[in-house]
Structure 1
């Protein structure tokens, strides 16, 4: 099984990091994140900036 890490950046600064992400859903400008061990989270006013499949890392850009 392969889990991803998700980093949320706001104004170029890393604000939050999620580990062991198993599911990511884009719903308009809200990104819903599910993990193995923590409760699901939502990042509002965000967009996917990049996905590194080999490195297992998703970078989100949060606006506002």
Structure 2
């Protein structure tokens, strides 16, 4: 199983919003992420900036 950390970058700062994400989906409001046994989280007004498969990270950026 390959689970990823979801990191949001804004104003030069980084925040891990979800560890062990199992699913990521682009929805109208932004990005919807979910982990096993947890409710999905919608992160509004962001886009996928980078996916690092070796480090297990998905980096999102806020739209300016």
Counterparts in 2 of 1:48 and 1:29: CA distance versus 1, 3 Å: farther
Matched, 1:22 2:26: no
Unmatched segments (≥5 aa) in structure 2: none
Alignment correspondent of 2:46:
46
Tell me, in whole angstroms, the C-alpha distance in 1 between the residues paired with 2:43 and 2:3: 18
Unmatched segments (≥5 aa) in structure 1: none
TM-score (normalizing by structure 2): 0.85
Alignment correspondent of 2:10:
10
SS in 2 for 1:55: coil
Runs of 4+ in 1 over 2 A off after TM superposition: none
Between the two proteins, the alignment pairs up a number of residues equal to 64
TM-score (normalizing by structure 1): 0.85
